[in-house]
Structure 1
Amino acid sequence: MKKILLALFIFLFAGVLTACGGDEDAAETEDTADEAATEEETAGETDNEEESGEGKGGFLWKVESGDTEMYLQGTIHLGNDDFYPLDPAIEEAFDSADVVLPEFNLLEETPSQQEILEYATYVDDSTLEEELPEETYEELASIFEENGLDLETMNDFQPWFVEMMLLELVTMTSDVDSQSAVDLYFLEKATEEGKEIVSLESAEEQFEVLSGYSMETQIQTLELAVESYDEAAEEMEGLADAWLEGNIEAMETMSDGYEEAGINDEYMEELNDKRNIDMANSLDEILQEDSGQVYFVFVGTAHFTVDPSIITELEDKGYEVEHVY
């Protein structure tokens, strides 16, 4: 049950980990993308031998409207060099696209560190130590100390932001990281190939959701993250493997039991439900325009598998959505 929040973040919202990483991480992202591109070029012969539907990843759907084609690709906001290139079906769908639509363009739309701090810090005289239960604060302080950090320096920050820092610490001990994320892979390729990039959301909207949670919800989710910290790296790697294997059943059930875990309904409503409805409405507008172009949408996999999902919303609007791979 504890892994539920980790799963939801890395399939719905962990793009903000990259944004919280700063300029040094951005440079690392560029290096990782260059390495992935080089690996893709040198792996050409292998790709030719690999059949579509037998490679890395999955979660690819397709919807058509008149002369317009739209591919829907579920991603994971983590990865490593071994992820790439992805399955030929995914690579071919991307290559055919005239326009790509991410949640937001991490390469160009990331808020400044000052703007992030404005979302992250308390607006009154509250402190993290005052807000958290004493036991949770002490456990969190121990985790920070193990990583050479002092939790007291984080006392001005709200629980949601400290949770992001905790998840970043988890990635440092795992074999996947936010700088090799599938989203960044596609964004780098789209930029190199001169494809049009149209964001479905903005970084500011995502930070507003996270910082907009009630303090009760923020504390609940941080408590759960602290409780599951010791197993989190292994769980993160397991979730990455599930994505690479195209395990759709694992994705469909990742949100089961969040109420049992004691998390407010507010959490899923803001993190998943409202965002999926808004993104589906935006895609519906594009499909109705019927420009005759090919679109490649790539957002966290849970947006396509956790109801109300983008797919169920499009189907409710009358579209036939085909699961390609």
Structure 2
Amino acid sequence: MSFRPLSRRQFARLALAFAGLCSAASSIAAPADANSCPPQPTPPSRELMLKAQQQATDRGFLWRIGRNGRDSYLYGTIHAGRPEWFALGPRAEASLSRTGVLALEIDVTDPAVQSALRGATQGPPRALPAELMQSLRSAWAAECLPAADLDRGAAEFHVSQLAVAQAQRLGLFPLYGAESVLLVRSLGGQRPVVGLETAQTQLSAILARDDDEAASMVREALAELQRPMANQGLERLARAWEARDLKDIEAYADWCDCLNTPTEREAYARLVDGRNPGLADAIERLHVDVSVFAAVGALHMVGPQGLPRLLQGKGFKVTRVY
């Protein structure tokens, strides 16, 4: 297999898309001690992709879903990865090649999606209690993020950038995540890319409904990031995805130390299981006309409301590939 190099325009689209999706900050503010900042990824060059391909192996979770004489695929992803993961394994590559469209949760290359994401970061700021805002500013500064970015946009959206910075300190980068790999392969191979959700649907699951809920979400997110188990949980999630350990992903709620309060549990249910029926409906609609490679976060694959179970209920024959 050979790589078809992306054009400058395609690389620019990819970089812009992931900057908008994964980062609430427009730039990194260099402090006096720049060594304390999270490491930043380099663009995925041809050399990086070739090196990753030399050690490519199947990671994540893959199902074949068939109905009415057509096969599609369901792939459980991780949204941040390591440089050496920037290649599809042989079975994932073969499955992608059999499909006519790549379906992601949202199509981050769509200008309308990028505009909606910018709106979440650049709109009017939330009214948070002064002491909470100071805690957020302190945590923000510790990750070398520009202070001015907190003067606009939804604070509960911004706080997710602190989790991104935490992942980067562990060597996990959104730009090297599974979705990015799939986008590179699809853009290079002229495969259409579509979103299973609108940006508004995803943002409605992420954003608070009012300032009080936003304050609770920010307070609990900051507390979660300070827990001793936070880094261990992220590392464990990455290891389970790399090792294709679906049983450990299924037990995520038992070991993540992230569902300790009513607000955390409600937010998780809204962000994960609450979106699954809509995702399943979108996959079903696409499958009527074309074989689909649907790539969705691995946590959407587990439990009675997981996508494999929902699609099985819609009459699909669902077979785990790995």
* TM-score normalised per structure 2: 0.76
> Is 1:185–2:186 an aligned residue pair?
no
Q: 2:302 aligns with which of 279, 302, 305?
A: 305
Aligned to 1:185, what secondary structure does the other structure show? helix
Distance apart, 1:312 and its partner CA: 1.6
1:86-165 equivalences under 5 Å are 86-109=88-111, 111-112=113-114, 115-116=116-117, 118-120=119-121, 123=124, 127-130=127-130, 134=131, 136-148=132-144, 154-165=150-161
Instruction: Give the Cα–Cα distance (whole angstroms) in 1 for the partners of residues 238 and 87 of structure 2.
Output: 15
Against the structure 1 CA distance between its residues 143 and 40, is the aligned structure 2 distance closer, same or farther, given a 3 Å change threshold? closer
Aligned to 1:263, what secondary structure does the other structure show? helix
User: Which deviates further from its counterpart, 162-171 or 262-271?
Assistant: 262-271
Aligned 8 A contact 2:128 2:215 in 1: no
> Is 1:254–2:252 an aligned residue pair?
yes
> Is 1:39–2:40 an aligned residue pair?
no
**Cα distance per residue 1:144-200 (max 9 Å; x no partner):** 343345768625443312312222321332211111111011011001011122221
In structure 1, list runs of 5 or more residues that go unmatched. Answer: 1-13, 48-54
Distance apart, 1:74 and its partner CA: 0.4
Higher relative contact order (CA 8 A, sep 6+): 1
The Cα RMSD (Å) is: 3.3
Distance apart, 1:274 and its partner CA: 3.2
Instruction: Give the Cα–Cα distance (whole angstroms) in 2 for the partners of residues 94 and 186 of structure 1.
Output: 9
Aligned 8 A contact 2:81 2:174 in 1: yes
User: Which deviates further from its counterpart, 58-67 or 259-268?
Assistant: 259-268
Q: Segments of 4+ in structure 1 off by > 6 A?
A: none
Aligned 8 A contact 2:286 2:292 in 1: no
Distance apart, 1:244 and its partner CA: 0.3
Letter in 1 for 2:49: A
Distance apart, 1:212 and its partner CA: 4.6
> Is 1:320–2:322 an aligned residue pair?
no
Letter in 1 for 2:103: L
Q: 1:202 aligns with which of 198, 201, 210?
A: 198
| Corresponding residue of 1:286 | 286
> Is 1:168–2:164 an aligned residue pair?
yes
Instruction: Give the Cα–Cα distance (whole angstroms) in 1 for the partners of residues 151 and 200 of structure 2.
Output: 23
User: Which deviates further from its counterpart, 183-192 or 263-272?
Assistant: 263-272
Distance apart, 1:277 and its partner CA: 0.2
The share of aligned pairs that are identical, in percent, is 19
Distance apart, 1:246 and its partner CA: 1.0
Q: 2:292 aligns with which of 281, 292, 295?
A: 295
User: Which deviates further from its counterpart, 293-302 or 225-234?
Assistant: 225-234
User: Which deviates further from its counterpart, 64-73 or 311-320?
Assistant: 311-320
| Corresponding residue of 1:50 | none
| Corresponding residue of 1:67 | 69
Q: 1:227 aligns with which of 223, 228, 239?
A: 223
| Corresponding residue of 1:11 | none
| Corresponding residue of 1:239 | 237
Aligned 8 A contact 1:99 1:197 in 2: yes
Aligned 8 A contact 2:87 2:181 in 1: no
Instruction: Give the Cα–Cα distance (whole angstroms) in 2 for the partners of residues 311 and 64 of structure 1.
Output: 11
Distance apart, 1:109 and its partner CA: 4.1
**Cα distance per residue 1:214-257 (max 9 Å; x no partner):** 44443333223212324434432332111101111222122358
Instruction: Give the Cα–Cα distance (whole angstroms) in 2 for the partners of residues 158 and 192 of structure 1.
Output: 35
Against the structure 1 CA distance between its residues 265 and 66, is the aligned structure 2 distance closer, same or farther, given a 3 Å change threshold? same
User: Which deviates further from its counterpart, 176-185 or 263-272?
Assistant: 263-272
User: Which deviates further from its counterpart, 29-38 or 237-246?
Assistant: 29-38
Instruction: Give the Cα–Cα distance (whole angstroms) in 2 for the partners of residues 184 and 215 of structure 1.
Output: 33
In structure 2, list runs of 5 or more residues that go unmatched. Answer: 1-17, 29-39
User: Which deviates further from its counterpart, 302-311 or 252-261?
Assistant: 252-261
